[in-house]
A and B are shown apart, each in its own frame.
Chain A
Amino acid sequence: GAGVSQSPSNKVTEKGKDVELRCDPISGHTALYWYRQSLGQGLEFLIYFQGNSAPDKSGLPSDRFSAERTGGSVSTLTIQRTQQEDSAVYLCASSASGGRETQYFGPGTRLLVL
């Protein structure tokens, strides 16, 4: 595809359940980013991948959050034992390389924890 894709587009889960969010970056992009956007709020950086490595995980809110990237392409963000405050839009972006390159965003996954 031409752009960044994310799935699912919407996810409703019960408090305490685990969820997995998927991101397919633009083909050939080596850098991948996860952000979170709560209702009416700005972007919150979560994690940055360069290839399959994550040199910056500083934005992950707690140890319930983890992410991996395989084959230098698809990434999965996992939230364990979800809490209501995890409800947000989770955005994935990719860029040709890290640093100052233009980031292109996916449509996001809207997570609602009941």
Chain B
Amino acid sequence: DAKTTQPPSMDCAEGRAANLPCNHSTISGNEYVYWYRQIHSQGPQYIIHGLKNNETNEMASLIITEDRKSSTLILPHATLRDTAVYYCIVRVARSGGSNYKLTFGKGTLLTVNP
């Protein structure tokens, strides 16, 4: 799977949009971009994923650049409960192999401030 690069930390004011960047310049055409987050002392929580189109769900929006080398996770109205480590990973889209083994990098620690 392609590697990802994320800033180690970010701050955001409560109620504002949080925009978390991720670089994945070596991504292959058959790899999805996934985002998870982990709130302190909890299990990882799936947020969103996409292949090349922008995606939106009840939690967040995912914007993927046209060349697919980077993406941005957007939390439109951050709350204090969104303080967590956010992980951007890429996963092969096809079945087979051992692509079920998830690995997280260091992620971005997002701190939402009151």
Residues A100 and B92 in contact in the complex (CB < 8 Å), given A35-B102, A48-B100: yes
Name the segment of A13-21, A65-73, A76-84, A104-112 touching the other chain.
Answer: A104-112
Contacts of A4 in B (CB 8 A): 43
Task: Give the bracket for the number of chain B residues in contact with chain A.
Answer: 20 to 34
Over the window 29-49 of chain A, the binary record of Cβ atoms lying under 8 Å from chain B Cβ atoms (1 yes, 0 no) is 001010100000011010010
Query: B102 contacts A100, CB within 8 Å?
Result: no
Contacts of A33 in B (CB 8 A): 100, 102
Over the window 79-103 of chain B, the binary record of Cβ atoms lying under 8 Å from chain A Cβ atoms (1 yes, 0 no) is 0000000000001111111111111
A99: CB under 8 A from chain B? Answer: yes
Residues A45 and B102 in contact in the complex (CB < 8 Å), given A99-B96, A100-B32, A100-B92: yes
A56 to B98, CA, bound (A): 9
Interface centre among B91, B100, B105 (most CB of A within 10 A): B100
Query: B104 contacts A100, CB within 8 Å?
Result: no
Query: B95 contacts A98, CB within 8 Å?
Result: yes
Query: B91 contacts A100, CB within 8 Å?
Result: yes
Minimum distance in angstroms from A77 CB to a CB of chain B? 15
- Which residues of chain A have a CB within 8 Å of any CB of chain B? 4, 6, 31, 33, 35, 42-43, 45, 48, 56, 59, 91, 93, 95, 98-100, 102-108, 110
Q: Give 8 A-B contacts (CB < 8 Å), ordered by A residue.
A: A42-B103, A45-B101, A91-B43, A91-B44, A100-B94, A100-B95, A100-B99, A106-B43
In the A-B complex, the 4 residue pairs with the closest CB atoms: A99-B95, A105-B43, A45-B101, A105-B44
